[in-house]
Structure 1
Amino acid sequence: MNTVHRPRRLAASILAAALAGTGLTVAVAPAAHAAASDVVAKLPISTYSALAVDNVHQRVFVADANVGSNYNYGLVAVYTFTGERVSTINFSYHVSGLAVSADGSTLYVGQRYGIFVYDTETLALKSAPGVYADQCGREVVVAGGKPYYTTQWTDYASQCGTATTQLDTLVGGNLQRTGWNDAGKLLLEGGPNDTFVMGQALNAAAPNPFVSVFDGSGDTPVRTATRRFADDAGGGALNLKDVAVSPDGAKIALADAAAGTRLLNTSDLSDAATGYRPLPDGATATSVAFSGDGKYLARGAAATGTTPDLLVQPADPADSTAPLEFVFEGSQDGDQVVPRGMEWSADGSRLFAVTTNAAGNQFWLHIIQPPAVQYDVRFTGALTHSPAQAVAGEALAVRGKLEWDGPAPGEPLKVKATRTDANGTHDLGTFTVKDDGSYTVLDEPDLVGDATYSVSYLGDLTHRPADGLSTTVTVGKAPTSITLNAPAEASQATGVQITGTFTAQGKALPERATLKVQRTDRLGSGVLTSVTVAADGTFTLNDLPRSRRDVTYTVSWPGDDLHLASTASATVFVTR
């Protein structure tokens, strides 16, 4: 059954409607939550190989790999841009690797014994030239008006991880082996101007995989740049899951299961001056794709729980606009984005993403439309804080209000906050904006003096960034107190015992406090042995008075960088 669903991370409620005769269920978000739409189709496959998009006829092709046996059948499922399945192309052997020609007229399908060529409008088979047999699954890409494809042969499917892969092509319909080859899987990704990228999957025979750029315009491909990533000690090796080339051909993004999203300069494969922020903690990169208009980057991942499996964000890594986040949740969505599982429409209006469940035997096609309009956001009023007197080491709340234009957001907006003090600027994280626009920044300043709190809104794909507000708070020392419990009368013979409690607010003391003790009697004043406060804040003072009548005991603590001093006194009448 094909289904359409809106992830719960993007909207609080959905309105379902069935499309008659298609088996397609559509979930439509109310206008108040229209941040992005996510149509979902359940795919009729049990394994996954490739995804390709025909922008001319608005078709999406998904291949079921089904490798591993001569007896396995393959298929390619064909969908519209709205998620309706219009056809299924069946094969006598497994299929893997899909590519659409630059003009959208031709679909190339990698099959076990051939490259099948279809008319994308009619889905009629145009030709099926035989090629070297493939046991492990092909990659297919088009450059220079011809397909390039991988061929990997082994005696047993278990050897596919390390067996040699050849890069082949068809010139004038005739098979041609390019001579390029290496161990394990070789991923192919097309780029503009008849270029393509080849990336090697990490495997036991290739502990330091490569990425290479090729010019495919001639009869044989010419390598223009190549790079390996491991250092001299073997660390930092690439664990490649996907490759994407920017529409202008200037940048290449890699989904690296070890390092996240790498951004490279295509000319020499050096690291770009500014890279993308790390994926959320707990997310492992599986897929990456630039939108056809160059505005967006989609980053797919494998994650659990509430950690996002998909981020859609500006393609410019210097743009700090917050991404749209998608959490896929099992039986209706899949659990993660598959490797090599994303493609965009040429105009950037739709992202096609394939997800799978934890077992890897069910698959879904998501058709996501990022919002086309952004709305203004602004801060109103001034920032306030409580308590009125901030002290070091104690909670402080800074409050403000935000307004936004357009529909209510499907996800609560978040403000970013920083604190600047004598030790520099500190990132306090993000804080949720309530439905009425109010927000509260919580902090625990740890330095006495002026602290400036600043809030800003970084924006998202629905709302533009907004300049923030600042307020300066004077942070004082935390108070301390000493209480004494002394007898009204004592004797010189038995001595004086006074108990007490020392309390320090704010940040905990680095060690137990030591209190100064002074005794004043008719003979004068003198300092007694200091007392150390126990872990529970209590202490005991014992003394043998030297004179009778009133004796006053004064206990004091001098304070420190974060705490005020305190003192307390008690007078005892001493008899013989």
Structure 2
Amino acid sequence: MLAAALAAGGLTVVAAPAAHAAASDLVAKLPISSFSALTVDSAHQRVYVADSNLGHYDNKGLVAVYDFSGERVTTITTTRHVSGLALNSDGSVLHVGGRDGILRYDTTTYLPLSAAVAGTDTCGRSMAFAGGRAYHTAPYANSMSDCDTTLTYLDYSQTDNTWQRSGWQDHGRLQLEAGPGDRLMMGQPANAKAADPFLAVFDAGGTTLVRTADRRFADAEGKGAANLKDMAFSADGTKVAVADAAAGTRLLDSGDLSDAATGYPALPSGASASAVAFSGDGKYLARGASATGATPDLLLSPADPSDATPALEFAFEGSLDGDRVAPRGLEWSADGSRLFAVTTNTAGSQYWLHVVQPPAVQYDTRFAQGPTHSPARAVAGEALAVRGRLELDGPAPAEPLKVTATRTDAGGTHELGTATVKADGTFTVLDEPELIGDATYTVSFLGDLTHRPATDLTHTVSVGRAASSIALSAPAEVPMDTGVHLTGTFAAQGKALPERAVLKVERTDRLGTGTLSSVTVAADGTFTVDDLPRARRNTTYTVSWPGDDLHEGSTASATVRVTR
């Protein structure tokens, strides 16, 4: 019956809720279990994703190659782990940060070119191509546990396939980012040897790397230091955006790294900044975040902070889309027509590639007030329907939308799958609550390409014990020496009993009340009671069941006149 009800209600049960992406948000599951770098080759319409695979010096490396439609083109494997990625200025050569050197590949054939020597890397490199050179970080540590604080050098490859120290170095997993006008940016994530880490901009156009701006963010008391997750130059190079897990999105002037006169709105409450990227056409800023539920994980805003156009919002939640945007997991195509986003699950062990084509506008959504449920009295183990309505601004969607639902009770939070939103906005979530007590249903709409996520709808239902019943039949009169034979049936609604019910039997006559032998209900729900009465006149037999954690008790009585 429940299966039929689910089908009738339009509810499709899945293992976990997922962000409902529109057709223009293509999603590919990445063949990696760790992530280190993402880069986009607009000249050949290719996307490169590197699996760092650190942890052992013999681990193989992998670079997955996709086209702009999210189709995997090929996979580049290496004998040792790889990390950073960088493309040269015309996109003809892909530079890959290997453990023992800088690997290079032809971006047309994907065949290896001559490699460049580099310092041994045990922690993962960052790479950027600026001023005609491939810059790379060179960290080394005896143990992975030391990588966050190890001394890291900034080096670059030379035309004779050797490498050269730039002279700049500091502690931790230094990150690099290239920008227009031969700019190079280096950022230092917070670590035990850098309580107030830095951000610096360099001119990479000459033979010597020249620092043009730098900044540390802590105040005189050491508070407010940046928690760097990602950084990006604007399309014209005049601005720098920083994904700061502590402060959100910082917008800085690249000339001196001072705060820009006008910044971007704060991320939604509960979202922690993880990635940032400007589109190459200068129109958009993409901000990635780590968030849960319907809180957006990705926001696309106008690059001009004075433009108050609401952001396009995406919430990722589940096994089809990942749960959040990975740090440094955003890159645009050069023309701004596509955004490539790498998402990861909560454990950071699975990854997805999203290909997003931004529309011109995105509309608000909301749940109407007053969700209802039926039946009015909810009981454990029986079907319950929670009904509501989703209101949408803008044009009607081309395809039916979905909402996701969870139930939270004393046993934790349980995923209930997705429910289809009908043309009038109504939806029905069907469930079988398993425990008595309060059950809170949370319904989420995570948005799509043209609709923003809605604030979650919650509805609490008091779940009681399911009813049980006993029907008892007895003869009206029996001779005392013949004995009494009673028959009956027992039924329990809701969840099936783990074992057959055992019923208590009592006899009341003019001599008093006594307990007879208990009876066990048969598989078909029937039972019998046989007794030799001890006194004449009226004798009452009472059969009862005390109930259990999920079922109410029940009782039934029958009176027999006992004659000589």
User: Aligning the two structures, in what range does the TM-score lie when normalised by the shorter sequence?
Assistant: 0.5 to 0.7
Instruction: Indicate how the Cα distance of structure 1 residues 93 and 263 shifts in structure 2: closer, same or farther if over 3 A, else same.
Output: same
CA distance in 2, matches of 1:183, 1:211: 13
Instruction: Indicate how the Cα distance of structure 1 residues 436 and 107 shifts in structure 2: closer, same or farther if over 3 A, else same.
Output: same
Instruction: Indicate how the Cα distance of structure 1 residues 374 and 166 shifts in structure 2: closer, same or farther if over 3 A, else same.
Output: same
Cα deviation per residue 1:186-237 (whole Å; 9 max; x = unaligned)? 1101100111110000000000010000111222311100000000011110
Question: What does residue 310 of structure 2 align with?
Answer: 322
Question: What does residue 358 of structure 1 align with?
Answer: 346
CA distance in 1, matches of 2:350, 2:314: 19
Aligned AA for 2:276?
V
Question: What does residue 279 of structure 1 align with?
Answer: 267
Selected match of 2:48 from 47, 61, 83 = 61
Instruction: Indicate how the Cα distance of structure 1 residues 435 and 272 shifts in structure 2: closer, same or farther if over 3 A, else same.
Output: farther
Question: What does residue 269 of structure 1 align with?
Answer: 257
Give, in angstroms, the shift of residue 436 of structure 1. 9.2
Instruction: Please give the TM-score of this superposition, normalised by the length of structure 1.
Output: 0.60
Cα pair 2:153 2:167 within 8 Å, conserved: yes
Instruction: Please give the TM-score of this superposition, normalised by the length of structure 2.
Output: 0.62
Within-5 A mapping of 1:91-490: 91-172=78-159, 173-371=161-359, 373=360
CA distance in 2, matches of 1:435, 1:188: 49
Instruction: Indicate how the Cα distance of structure 1 residues 160 and 101 shifts in structure 2: closer, same or farther if over 3 A, else same.
Output: same
CA distance in 2, matches of 1:97, 1:375: 34
SS in structure 2 at match of 1:213: strand
Give, in angstroms, the shift of residue 375 of structure 1. 10
Cα deviation per residue 1:161-197 (whole Å; 9 max; x = unaligned)? 1001100001223210111000111110110011111
Give, in angstroms, the shift of residue 122 of structure 1. 1.2
CA distance in 1, matches of 2:295, 2:38: 25
Structure with more contact order per residue of length (Cα contacts < 8 Å, sep ≥ 6): 2
Aligned AA for 2:191?
N
Give, in angstroms, the shift of residue 404 of structure 1. 5.6
CA distance in 1, matches of 2:253, 2:51: 33
Aligned AA for 2:209?
P
Give, in angstroms, the shift of residue 411 of structure 1. 8.8
Cα pair 1:323 1:461 within 8 Å, conserved: no
Give, in angstroms, the shift of residue 265 of structure 1. 0.3
Cα deviation per residue 1:292-335 (whole Å; 9 max; x = unaligned)? 11101110000111111111111111111111111111211111
Within-5 A mapping of 1:29-44: 37-44=24-31
CA distance in 2, matches of 1:183, 1:403: 50
Selected match of 2:33 from 22, 46, 58 = 46
Long gaps (5+) in structure 1: 1-11, 15-26, 378-400, 413-433, 438-459, 464-576
CA distance in 2, matches of 1:162, 1:52: 26
Cα pair 2:66 2:73 within 8 Å, conserved: yes
Instruction: Indicate how the Cα distance of structure 1 residues 43 and 408 shifts in structure 2: closer, same or farther if over 3 A, else same.
Output: closer
Question: What does residue 63 of structure 2 align with?
Answer: 76
SS in structure 2 at match of 1:128: strand
Give, in angstroms, the shift of residue 126 of structure 1. 1.4
Give, in angstroms, the shift of residue 346 of structure 1. 0.5
Cα pair 1:375 1:406 within 8 Å, conserved: no
Instruction: Indicate how the Cα distance of structure 1 residues 13 and 125 shifts in structure 2: closer, same or farther if over 3 A, else same.
Output: farther
Cα pair 1:78 1:88 within 8 Å, conserved: yes
Question: What does residue 89 of structure 1 align with?
Answer: 76
Cα deviation per residue 1:444-494 (whole Å; 9 max; x = unaligned)? xxxxxxxxxxxxxxxx9969xxxxxxxxxxxxxxxxxxxxxxxxxxxxxxx
Cα pair 1:79 1:86 within 8 Å, conserved: yes
CA distance in 2, matches of 1:267, 1:250: 7
Give, in angstroms, the shift of residue 409 of structure 1. 11
SS in structure 2 at match of 1:244: strand
Give, in angstroms, the shift of residue 68 of structure 1. 2.1
Aligned AA for 1:236?
G
Cα deviation per residue 1:273-308 (whole Å; 9 max; x = unaligned)? 000111000000000000111101110000111111
SS in structure 1 at match of 2:116: coil
CA distance in 2, matches of 1:326, 1:405: 18
Instruction: Indicate how the Cα distance of structure 1 residues 349 and 13 shifts in structure 2: closer, same or farther if over 3 A, else same.
Output: farther
SS in structure 2 at match of 1:158: helix
CA distance in 1, matches of 2:449, 2:318: 25
RMSD value, Cα: 2.9
Cα deviation per residue 1:138-182 (whole Å; 9 max; x = unaligned)? 001001111000000111111001001100001223210111000
Cα deviation per residue 1:376-401 (whole Å; 9 max; x = unaligned)? 99xxxxxxxxxxxxxxxxxxxxxxx9
Cα pair 2:362 2:449 within 8 Å, conserved: no
Cα pair 1:375 1:405 within 8 Å, conserved: no
CA distance in 2, matches of 1:357, 1:375: 26
CA distance in 2, matches of 1:70, 1:376: 50
Aligned AA for 1:160?
C
Cα pair 2:312 2:361 within 8 Å, conserved: no
CA distance in 2, matches of 1:70, 1:436: 59
Within-5 A mapping of 1:19-34: none
CA distance in 1, matches of 2:322, 2:400: 21
Query: How many residues are aligned here?
Result: 368
Instruction: Indicate how the Cα distance of structure 1 residues 362 and 28 shifts in structure 2: closer, same or farther if over 3 A, else same.
Output: closer
Cα pair 1:322 1:461 within 8 Å, conserved: no
Of all paired residues, the percent bearing the same amino acid is: 61
Runs of 4+ with deviation above 6 angstroms: 405-412, 434-437, 460-463
CA distance in 1, matches of 2:272, 2:88: 31
Aligned AA for 1:65?
S
Cα pair 1:255 1:288 within 8 Å, conserved: yes
Long gaps (5+) in structure 2: 1-9, 13-18, 365-390, 403-421, 426-447, 452-564
CA distance in 1, matches of 2:260, 2:58: 46
Instruction: Indicate how the Cα distance of structure 1 residues 93 and 57 shifts in structure 2: closer, same or farther if over 3 A, else same.
Output: same
